[in-house]
Structure 1
């Protein structure tokens, strides 16, 4: 969900539920993305998260804030990144944050073997 593709060779599979095609005027990618604190990403988030705070917490490596802000609730729809006038890589940053939290979590103990 919410993944930009830059190559037409990527297949459309059974799990694809939508394709958004953007014109040449929308291909702009900022060399250095910059948040202008407009809040558009917050207003479009279907999970009512605050993507700009998740982005900055991930950049700082602040795992406690990421947990407190419920980064794992993000469905990675890409609405925040699509609407961001600063061209921040919000979805990529949120995916990275989720992986950092998973890596930092203590390993779960193996289940006990079933008794015959």
Structure 2
């Protein structure tokens, strides 16, 4: 009996994760590519996510890859794009009670030094 309850609990509380796409460069910002030679790669990777909740069976919305990307880019001053990254979807749901869906975007920020100086 305990074994059956354990198996059911694991199945009900398990989550799911799916790698959607790997990318070389991605952005939702307007970028002046003529100044691309001046751009700098950040030494650290960043993550952004857009998370939505499910109450009983009603979702509060649908996660957006654009929102997750914007949060990741905007987390670094002067960043205009992400390089060498990945977009992943995640979810978990306890049937009839609560769950979450979210999209996570991770990459290396590409920084426009002119934006740091207040140029543009």
TM-score by length of 2: 0.24
Which protein is richer in strand relative to its size? 2
TM-score by length of 1: 0.24
Q: Which has the larger radius of gyration?
A: 2
